[in-house]
Every structure is written in C-alpha cells, then in structure tokens.
Amino acid sequence: MRRRLVSSTFLVVMMVIILLGVPLAVLEVRSVDSSTKTVLATEAQALGETFSMQVSKAFQNGTTITSLDAFGPNAERMIAGDHSALIIVDGKLPLLVHPLPAGAPAFTATYTVNNVLNNVGVHVTVRAPRAPADRQIRSAMYLIGGVALAVLVAATGLAYLQARRLTKPLEELAATAERLGSGDPRPRHRRYGISELDRVAEVIDSSADRISTMLGAERRLAAEASHELRTPLAALSMRLEEIIAIADDPQTVRDEAEVGLSQVERLTDVVQRLLTTARTHRRSDLAVPIEVDTVIRQQVHEWRPAYQSMRRGIVVSGERRLMAMATPGAFSQILSTLLENSLIHGAGTVTVHTRAVGGSVVVEVGDEGDGIAPELEVKLFERGASSRGSTGLGLAVARELAEADGGRLNLVLQRPAVFAVFLTEHSPLSVIAR
C-alpha cells in the first residue's frame, strides 16, 4: 500500500508538471522571440525615420547625397552593439553597420519609408543574432526544470511520509486483530488522529472488551462446571462400578441403575443451572445495534419448513428497517423460542409484527390457537412451567435474555396467545446526543 500511494502521487505530480511546464516553456520561448523582434522593429523604424528626415533636409537645402558613410556613426548609436543594420536609399550605395557572420542564425526586422517630396525611398533591415535569445531561453528552461524537479521531489517525500502515516496504523491494527484472534483480547486503546482509523481502532477495542468479558464468563463457567460436576460424576462412576460388580443380581442391578439415573438427573440439573447462571450474568452493555428485519428473516427461513410440514404458515408484517440494541444471538434465540412454542402449542397462521413505540422496538409473535390456559398464565415464565411435558425452560430463558439486554418479554394477549419482545431502539441521533 505504501508503494502504491507513493507511485500514484508521483504519477499525478508528474502529469501536473507536464501539463503546466510544457505550456509555460512554450510561452517563455514565444515571449523571448517576441521581445527580440519588438526591439528590432523599434530600431528599424527609428533608423528609417531618421534617414528619411536626413534625405528630406538634403533635398530642401539643394544638397546632393552621394554616399551614406557619413551617417554610419549615427546609425551605430541607434542600434544595439550586437545588432546589424542595412540601410538602402534609392540611387545610393547601401550602408552596412555591424555586419553579422555569414550563415549565423538571426532575427530580422525591416522598415520602409517613401519620401513624398523627392520621391526617394528608405529601406532599413535590422538583424540580431539568435545566440543571446537562445541563452535566455535555456536559462528559463533550466529554471522551469529545476522548479519541476524540486516540486516532484518534495511531493514524493510528502507522499512517502503520508503513506507511512497511514500504513503504520493499519499494520498496528492488523497486528491487534491477529493478537485478538490468537486469544489475547487485551485492547490497545491507541488512537492515530485519523478519524477513519480511530473508528476502526474503537471497534476493535470494543470487540476486545466484549471478547474479554465473554471469555471471563466462559472461564468462570468452566471452573464452576468442573467443580459442580466432579461430585455427581464420581457418584455415578461408583454406581456403575457397583452394577458391574453385582451383575448377577437383577434386583440389585435395578436398584443401582435407579440410583445412577437419579445421578444423571442431578447432572442435568447442574448443567442447566450453570447455563442459566452464565446467561443471567450477561451484561446489557454487551448489546450492540442489530437489524430486526435480518434476524426475523433468518428465523422465519429456518422455521418455515417445520410449519409447512404441519400445513401452517408464517406471516411477517409491520414497520421495516428497525434497529434495536441486543446482544448478538440473544434476539435470535428469543424469537426462535417463540416460534417453537407457537408451532408446538399454537395453531393456524403465525404472525410476526414489528413496530416502534416510545423509544422501543416491539416484536409481537402470535398465532390462531386456543391461547394460554388460565392456570398456566400466572407461572408461564417460571422454570418448569409447561402444558405438554416439555422442559419449561424456553420462555424463562428467553425472558432472562431479553432482560439482560435491557428489554423484556411479556404475554400481551392470552387468547389467542400473543407474545411481545420489547428492545431498546437504536437511533443514530440518540447516539450523537449522548
């Protein structure tokens, strides 16, 4: 990336130099040529007017001009020292001042005056060597080239520094992400003064904090599980050894098997309690903005085959593009629990309706069944409450997940049964206000 930034900047500056330098060089050449030609034209006009006046005076005085050599010193003073002049008067020998070497490149300017009084014409040709103009043009080209080279070097140096300023933070962020993936979730809390990179660093640090929290919870769960499960497993192992030892007595084997089964049930209770403890320790500050539509669409896609096998349907309605605050995966589990309950305990078409009310996102799940039995409504969200022999943990865990994210899960209509999930609405304006 660093090489790409430097090379692209180099090419851009080179194109700018070409687009500006070439026209500037052409203008400089034209300016030098035009200036030299203007000076020659001025000298030619001055010589022509002067000699025309001399011819007129001689005509008025009755003097006959036989040669122009007497005007030579006057002509030399009227032109530059390195310029040449050729003056021709009708009927007279031409006057040549400061002749140039034959074949030397030169600028030329001419001027002609016709005297009306004596009908005599004066023709002046002034020439100047190109060498001084060429030297001036070369000096200008050297100056333009030097400035262009200095600009190119400076721009390349600045591009290198800017590329280093951009790529170094990216390399550090990549190293942080790699360290995060290798199991070291410590945030760096480094900021670079570039808003986009600082935003990426904030996201990585936030992810590191969440991963650190979740890893801590998982470690605590593993420690508690190893401690809590050690005794039941040891007891179950002893019962199995007793069964092996007395395999010839069916009644004793049966009794020991019943005791072992009770140990298995105890293990199940321990696992469920540990998982519940881990969930209830979830913190609402782990919640992040989620797209409600995306989660609903995913769950409906997963549960639709099961509904179709029972010739039932799922309908989604309400407001779209709602954003809510929830722990990743928690809202999916809540919605999955409600769809499963509607499939098992409900009837008819299931409706998933979304709306936003007073800073909350409400997702209602209802069906066309007989609803909730009155004796079950009071203890509906208690663990173990079930009407058809299920574990009775689904709604209890779903409510705990909603409350952990600062929301709630309620039964809003008994017959037919309609459950509503209330989550905090995520609004960019509210985030800015905070």
Q: Is it true that the peptide bond before 132 is cis, omega within 30 degrees of 0?
A: no
Mean pLDDT score across all residues of the chain:
78
CB 402 within 8 A of CB 334: yes
Report which of 270, 374, 372, 287 is spatially closest to residue 334, judged by C-alpha positions. 287
Q: List the structure tokens of 290.
A: 């989620």
Q: Which amino acid is at 17?
A: I
CB 411 within 8 A of CB 418: yes
Three-state secondary structure call for residue 282: coil
pLDDT at residue 226 in the model = 57
pLDDT tens by residue, the chain, 434 residues: 667 777 888 888 888 888 888 888 899 889 988 998 999 999 888 888 887 887 777 776 766 555 566 666 777 788 888 888 888 877 666 778 888 887 778 899 999 888 655 667 788 899 999 888 888 889 989 998 898 899 888 888 888 887 777 777 777 777 777 777 766 767 777 777 777 777 877 887 887 777 777 777 676 666 555 544 554 565 566 556 666 666 666 776 676 666 566 556 656 655 655 565 555 544 445 678 899 999 898 888 878 888 888 899 999 999 999 999 987 677 888 898 899 889 888 999 999 999 999 889 999 999 998 888 888 887 888 866 665 555 566 788 788 888 888 899 999 998 899 999 999 998 764 444 44
Half-sphere exposure of 17 (CA within 13 A, CB side): 18
- The Cα 163–Cα 155 span in angstroms is 12
pLDDT tens digits, 393-433? 678 878 888 888 889 999 999 889 999 999 999 876 444 44
Report which of 373, 316, 386, 315 is spatially closest to residue 344, judged by C-alpha positions. 386
pLDDT tens digits, 96-152? 888 888 777 889 999 988 865 566 778 889 999 988 888 888 998 999 889 889 988
Q: For the whole model, what pTM was predicted?
A: 0.41
Could you tell me how far CA 162 lies from the centroid of its own chain?
A: 16
Burial of residue 386 (CB within 10 Å: 0-12, 13-18, 19+) is middle
Q: Do domains 2-134 and 285-433 have the same CATH topology?
A: no
CB 242 within 8 A of CB 253: no
CATH superfamily for 285-433 is: Histidine kinase-like ATPase, C-terminal domain (3.30.565.10)
For 195-280, CATH number?
1.10.287
* Every domain of the chain and the residues it spans: 2-134, 195-280, 285-433
- What is the fold, at CATH topology level, of the domain defined by 2-134? Beta-Lactamase (3.30.450)
